[in-house]
Chains A and B, each alone.
Chain A
Amino acid sequence: MNVVLIRRILTTIASAALLLWAVATIVFFLQHLVPGDPAMAILGGASANPPEETLQAIRDQYGFEDPLLVQYGAFLTGLVQLDLGESYTMKQPVTAIVSEQILPTLQLTGAALAIAWALAITLTLLTAGRRGWLGRLGAGIEVVFAALPHFWLGVVLLVVFAVVLQWLPVVDDGPLGLVLPALTLGIPLGGFLAQVTRDEFDVALRQPFVLSALSRGARTADVRFRQVLRHAALPGIALSGWGLGSLISGAVVVEVIFSRQGIGQVLVAAVNAQDLPLVIGVTFVVALVYVIANILSDAASVLVDPRLRHTIGATS
């Protein structure tokens, strides 16, 4: 087996672990800087007006008065056992809540990423490297798409397609209910990706290998689709790891607008209720998704760009 490849995989895993540890640590300490008594949060907040003895009992039970480092140690020990503690407000293990809620969010962001890529590729193939109004139209559409804020786009799509035209349901847990939220998330990212792929497409189109292919009788459409698009996709793929992460932040807003289940809804509720374990749990899982998304986008780059594959092989 290839030594260089193994070393690459090990480095990737090690750096991912390091990143996750850093995220967990930062979130843990930040949460402890926030004013407020977690024991109060567990007992339902100040409005519940719990007696002082009960508060003290809770503090002792959860170890809130232990030194911070001891609490941090307990937190890390739990973390490596995949135990993120119990939610203060929902009285359930955080892992159970998060693993249940992450699925709809992943569906949403996955669908949004697919829409974004479909948009970017279509816009690029149809309009990039074209002279005259078609090229300018494509570039214009991308700027507009990339500039659309999620909260506005979501409401507009909801009003137009669900309320006025009634083509799609307002709230639905099935695949139909996924269409509008996924469009809301996917369209701005698609505009952004298309800007990147268009630039690269234009650069690749000026390369001598394009002239070379045409001089052998290749069709222009073939050269664009089979050769140039591949070059154009590379920077977009590299950005997709980041894109998926940004979609999860976007999902927080979109899930509220469309009243969808998901990690975004959970996070908003947890922050409002000062539910420390749940906030940390959600943040940690989002970081995990980020890391995995970046590994996947790296793998996709290697798949599309054979030079990366070959250089790994060549040094073995």
Chain B
Amino acid sequence: MTTLITVRDLSVAFDGKEVVRDVSFSLRAGECLGIVGESGSGKSVTARSLLGLNGHGAQVTATTLDVGVDVLEATPEQLRHLRGSRIGYVLQDALVSLDPLRTVGTEIAEPLRAHRVPAAQRPARVQELLTSVSVPEPELRARQLPSELSGGLRQRALIAAGLALDPQVLIADEPTTALDVTVQAQVLELLEQNLSAGRAIILISHDLSVVERLADHVLVMHRGRVVEEGPTAQVLTSPQDPYTRRLLAAIPSASSRGDRLSDLPPATITAVPRERAPEAGPVLEAIGLGKSYRGPDGRTRPVVQDVSFTLDAGETLGIVGESGSGKSTTAWMALGLTPPSTGQVLLDGEAWTGIPERKRRSRRHRIAVVQQDPLSSFDPRWTVGRTIADSLSVGQGRRGGARGSAGSSGRERDRSARVAELLEAVGLDPAFAARHPLTMSGGQRQRAAIARAIATDPEVLVLDEPVSALDVSVQAQVLDLLGDLQSALGTAYLFISHDLGVIHHVSDRVLVMQGGQVVEHGTADQVLHAPQHPYTRQLVSTLPRRDLQEAS
């Protein structure tokens, strides 16, 4: 087999700061190389170096950087000829990687135009490409804008553009991130077909299960360096480097239930566990919940239909489903923020929906929420301390106002002490109270969001995709923290996620939603090891192979 790419001692620095250091690999025809690492590990920068696309500020050095031409010696025009025709590059997140003002057809035809394919031949080639990536109705799709396509179709269209000139090498940079599991499986299948057709692929991902499925050979990158490399099976089953081992241990799955995912020490939380009579009913109960919206054409569309569940104190109920399945709408109804069209929610046996907000307000502190994107759920101008203190005042409510005679400075001191305590409980230094959300990492922000949510000592915490935007090792830390908090405080979790591994790791019972309805309901092991409904079976079949091997 011919060697298509040879890289020796590649280093890339921006403004003197080295982000990639001494990376070496080679790629032969028909081979798939996986590059794994967390955000900031230098995997994308490495890939862009192969195309000479690191921008003006980058200082790229290497003893060899050969992709058919010597990238370091090539003229800009030679590099331009290489892009698209010899190496196709598919970026992550097709919504922003396709120009929102151009039709999908124009986008796919662009490499043809850039490489002087006659205009008359382009439309037929675009159709052919869309068909080859299994996009239905290619004539219609070619005329549509990216925003009119679903995430899966957009990602296929992007891959079609990358394949337009039949390049020998395809670089796929996080091709499945932000896609639902079943769509993710379809995109991986498409890449698999390309691989068996003899194309070489460089697959970049933070998701080990994605890499495992396709790659022959894996590079594990950490802080710009390759910490481990080797055949995929060998690296993933008997990792040598401590970082790889940590990365593997951090993946939540059925087998990780009850184990800690990160190597952080358990959080020390001093709290008196909630006293609750065993005969008391569920803390949260949903009875026949439904929600429908009227579309602009006047027709009513049900988003959620007949969803019922109970949540007991200290328990975790996982809701799993793809985007559009009605998970988040259900969460908002449980929070009493979206009034249900039918059915009702009971909080501690008392009506929680169908009553005016005025009557809910005094009980608001009993139920709290953590959202997916902590950055947009914080006011960027407020310090973390102020945000948390603000939610403390909700919890105290009128009680705080009534004891006004205590003196405001004394209350102030109480409050900042409580903020510090909360920050410590979620594993953040109390000094974070003075920080602004923009200056914090994703994991730190999510911890602060959790601190805010538990500030009022709620009985129920609604967690809406709380770890979906986090790297796997940060995700592991946050999941561990949530576990520690639950055992210390006895909070019940309504945990919403599209990730089956996460759901299986955290949930006692699981609700599977599809198209607004609950299709399956049971204990986590029942639902995920012996699924009854065809949809659940399909979901479970997309799980990484390694998990299935361990389970059997």
Interface residue ranges, A against B (CB under 8 Å): 4, 131, 207-209, 211-219, 222, 227, 230-231, 304-307, 310, 314-316
In the complex, which residues of chain A have a beta carbon less than 8 angstroms from the beta carbon of B165? Answer: 217
| A212:B297 contact, CB within 8 angstroms | no
Complex CA gap A98/B463 in Å reads 66
Q: Please tell me which one of the listed residues A207, A314, A316 contacts residue B96 in the complex, with CB atoms under 8 A apart.
A: A207
| B114:A310 contact, CB within 8 angstroms | no
A-B pairs with beta carbons under 8 Å apart, 17 shown: A4-B296, A208-B93, A209-B96, A209-B98, A211-B53, A212-B89, A213-B99, A213-B110, A214-B83, A215-B53, A216-B162, A216-B164, A217-B85, A305-B101, A310-B145, A314-B148, A315-B296
Known contacts A208-B91, A222-B114; A315/B297 CB under 8 A: yes
B181 interface residue per 8 A CB criterion? no
Interface residue ranges, B against A (CB under 8 Å): 48, 51, 53, 56, 80-85, 88-89, 91, 93, 96-103, 110-111, 113-115, 144-145, 147-148, 158, 161-162, 164-165, 296-297
| B96:A208 contact, CB within 8 angstroms | yes
Complex CA gap A217/B165 in Å reads 10
Complex CA gap A211/B99 in Å reads 11
Q: How far is the CB of B162 from chain A (nearest CB, A)?
A: 7
Among A209, A215, A231, A306: residue with most chain B CB under 10 A? A215
In the complex, which residues of chain A have a beta carbon less than 8 angstroms from the beta carbon of B96? Answer: 207-209
| A215:B102 contact, CB within 8 angstroms | no
| B99:A215 contact, CB within 8 angstroms | no
Secondary structure class of chain A's binding surface, majority of residues = helix
**Chain B residue with the shortest CB-CB distance to A231:** B101
**Chain A residue with the shortest CB-CB distance to B47:** A215
In the complex, which residues of chain B have a beta carbon less than 8 angstroms from the beta carbon of A304? Answer: 101
Other A-B pairs, 13, CB within 8 Å; known A208-B96, A305-B101, A306-B103: A209-B96, A209-B97, A211-B53, A212-B98, A212-B161, A213-B110, A215-B83, A215-B89, A217-B80, A218-B110, A219-B80, A227-B99, A315-B296
| A217:B111 contact, CB within 8 angstroms | yes
In the complex, which residues of chain A have a beta carbon less than 8 angstroms from the beta carbon of B296? Answer: 4, 315
Q: How far is the CB of A253 from chain B (nearest CB, A)?
A: 38
| A216:B53 contact, CB within 8 angstroms | no
| B145:A307 contact, CB within 8 angstroms | yes
Known contacts A209-B97, A209-B98, A212-B98; A217/B115 CB under 8 A: yes
In the complex, which residues of chain B have a beta carbon less than 8 angstroms from the beta carbon of A230? Answer: 101
In the complex, which residues of chain A have a beta carbon less than 8 angstroms from the beta carbon of B85? Answer: 217
| B145:A211 contact, CB within 8 angstroms | no
**Chain B residue with the shortest CB-CB distance to A222:** B114
In the complex, which residues of chain B have a beta carbon less than 8 angstroms from the beta carbon of A211? Answer: 48, 53, 91, 97
Known contacts A4-B296, A215-B51; A306/B80 CB under 8 A: no
Which 3 A-B pairs give the minimum distances between C-beta atoms? A217-B84, A215-B89, A216-B111
In the complex, which residues of chain A have a beta carbon less than 8 angstroms from the beta carbon of B113? Answer: 218
Q: Please tell me which one of the listed residues A216, A219, A307, A316 contacts residue B89 in the complex, with CB atoms under 8 A apart.
A: A216
In the complex, which residues of chain B have a beta carbon less than 8 angstroms from the beta carbon of A222? Answer: 114
In the complex, which residues of chain B have a beta carbon less than 8 angstroms from the beta carbon of A212? Answer: 89, 91, 97-98, 158, 161
Q: How far is the CB of B310 from chain A (nearest CB, A)?
A: 39
**Chain A residue with the shortest CB-CB distance to B85:** A217
Complex CA gap A306/B85 in Å reads 29
**Chain A residue with the shortest CB-CB distance to B51:** A215
In the complex, which residues of chain B have a beta carbon less than 8 angstroms from the beta carbon of A4? Answer: 296
| A214:B53 contact, CB within 8 angstroms | yes
Complex CA gap A316/B299 in Å reads 12
| B83:A216 contact, CB within 8 angstroms | yes
Q: How far is the CB of B139 from chain A (nearest CB, A)?
A: 16
Q: How far is the CB of B93 from chain A (nearest CB, A)?
A: 7
Q: Please tell me which one of the listed residues A215, A217, A314 contacts residue B91 in the complex, with CB atoms under 8 A apart.
A: A215
Complex CA gap A67/B115 in Å reads 77
Q: How far is the CB of B214 from chain A (nearest CB, A)?
A: 20
Q: How far is the CB of B110 from chain A (nearest CB, A)?
A: 6
In the complex, which residues of chain B have a beta carbon less than 8 angstroms from the beta carbon of A316? Answer: 297
Q: How far is the CB of B459 from chain A (nearest CB, A)?
A: 42
Complex CA gap A218/B112 in Å reads 9
Known contacts A131-B56, A222-B114, A315-B296; A216/B84 CB under 8 A: yes
Q: How far is the CB of A8 from chain B (nearest CB, A)?
A: 12
Q: How far is the CB of A304 from chain B (nearest CB, A)?
A: 8
Known contacts A4-B296, A213-B110, A217-B111; A307/B100 CB under 8 A: yes
Q: How far is the CB of B76 from chain A (nearest CB, A)?
A: 9
Q: How far is the CB of B109 from chain A (nearest CB, A)?
A: 10
**Chain A residue with the shortest CB-CB distance to B99:** A209
Q: How far is the CB of A131 from chain B (nearest CB, A)?
A: 6
Complex CA gap A315/B89 in Å reads 35
Q: Please tell me which one of the listed residues A218, A307, A315 contacts residue B101 in the complex, with CB atoms under 8 A apart.
A: A307
Q: How far is the CB of B450 from chain A (nearest CB, A)?
A: 31
In the complex, which residues of chain B have a beta carbon less than 8 angstroms from the beta carbon of A219? Answer: 80, 114
Q: How far is the CB of B471 from chain A (nearest CB, A)?
A: 19
Complex CA gap A219/B164 in Å reads 17
In the complex, which residues of chain A have a beta carbon less than 8 angstroms from the beta carbon of B164? Answer: 216
Complex CA gap A120/B421 in Å reads 55
Q: Please tell me which one of the listed residues B83, B101, B144, B147 contacts residue A217 in the complex, with CB atoms under 8 A apart.
A: B83
